Amino acid sequence: MYVRQEWEYYRAKMKAARRICGGLVQPKDLPSNREIRDEIQLFARQYEGDRRIENLREMRIEALRVMRILKGFRPRLVGSTLSGNLREGSGIDIHVFSDRLEAITAVLEQDRIPYEVERRQVSHNGQGDVVTQIHVAERYPIELTIYPTEQVQVAPRSPKSGEPIERVSIDQLRQLLRREYPDMSLDGVLYEAEHKLDRFQVYEMLLRPLEQVKQDRKKHPEGDVLYHSLQVFELARDELPYDEEFLLAALLHDVGKAIDPREHVRAGLEALDGFITPRTAWFIEHHSDAGSIRDGTLGARSRRRLESSEDFEELMLLCDCDRKGRERGVAVPDVQESLAYLRDLARANGE
C-alpha cells in the first residue's frame, strides 16, 4: 500500500494473507485498517524522515491557499493532508460545492491554474454514480471533487468503508495550522505562498508564445519554435530522463526567441533569472557555442574553456538533440505534459 500497488485495505490484507499463510484466514486474525495505517506511517517516518514533516506543513499551507481561491465554493479539506497520514506521492484532496463545473474552472483559469477535468464511475453498496473531479497541477498535486451545493451540510462517506469522511473548512484549517505550528507566523507564510511565483507557471508563460514564432524553413523545416522545443525535450528525455536541469535546458533553450529573436539567448536567460539553476542557465547560454564546436567554427580558447566543464558531454548531447529536433510530423508531448513530467522530477528530488 505504501508504494500504491494496492489501494484498498481489504484487498491488501487478503493478498498478504494468501502469501504468508497459503490458505484461508479468519477476518479476526487480520490486522485492522487502523493498525495497517499506523504501520504505513511508521514506515514513512523511517523512510522519508524530516522531509515528510516539512512536506506536510507545506501541503497544508498550499491547501489553505487554494481553498481561499475557491472560497466561493465552500471548500473542505479531506484526506491525508488533513489527517497527517502522508507518504511519498500523496496529494491534496479538497471537496468543493457547485452546481456548475464551469463556475469552478472559470476561477481556476482567472488565476492561471492549470487543470484537467475527469468524470469517473464509482459504486457503493451496489449503486453506481458519476463523480466529477478536477486535477490541478500546482506545487503539489491537487484533486478537487465536486458535489452539488445542497450537499454542503452533509458529511460524505467513504465509498470503501461507509464511514463519514473527516473534513475541515477554511477557518477550521487555519485553527489547525495555528495549533500544530504555534511558532509559525501563519499570515506571513500564507502571504508569501500567495505571492510566490510558481516557476513552472513561469515556464509555461514563456513557452506558449513560441507557437507563434516561425523560423527559417531551411534550418527549421519543422515549423514554429514551440514544436521544435518540444521535440528537443522529448529527445533529451530519451537520453537523460532523470536529469531535471538538462531537460529544462532542452525545453527552454529558445524561449528568448519570442522576446528578442536577435539576442534570444540573452533575452531568455534574463526572463528565466531566478527560476532556473546555474547549471541549466549554463546549458542555455552555451548551446549555440556547442553548435559551433560541431561545425568546427568555435575558437580554440573558447572550446578549451567549455571542454574544461564537467558538463561538457551533456552540453554536446543537448546540441545533438537541438539539431535532431527539426523533423516534420513527429509526435511530441504538449506543454502541460512536459511540465508535469518535470514537476514530478522536482518532487522526487525533494522540492
Residue pLDDT, tens place only, 15-52:
888 788 776 777 778 888 778 766 776 666 666 555 66
Query: What is the average pLDDT across 309-338?
Result: 93
Query: What is the average pLDDT across 71-82?
Result: 92
Of 204 and 197, which is predicted with more confidence?
204
Query: Strand, helix or coil at 295?
Result: helix
Within 10 angstroms of residue 87's Cβ, the number of other Cβ atoms is: 19
Q: Average pLDDT, whole number, for the chain? A: 86
Using the predicted structure, report yes or no on whether residue 70 has a pLDDT greater than 90.
yes
pLDDT reported for residue 32: 80
One-letter identity of residue 141: P
Confidence of residue 306 (pLDDT cuts 50, 70, 90): very high
Rounded-to-5 percentages of helix, strand, coil across the chain? 55, 10, 30
Confidence of residue 297 (pLDDT cuts 50, 70, 90): very high
Distance between first and last Cα of the chain? 23
* pTM to 2 decimal places: 0.60
**90-140 pLDDT per residue, tens:** 789 999 999 999 999 999 988 878 888 998 876 555 566 778 999 987 778
Interacting residues of 329 by C-beta distance below 8 A, sequence separation 6+: none
Domains and CATH numbers, the chain: 48-195 (3.30.460), 199-348 (1.10.3210.10)
Contact 136, 108 (CB under 8 A): yes
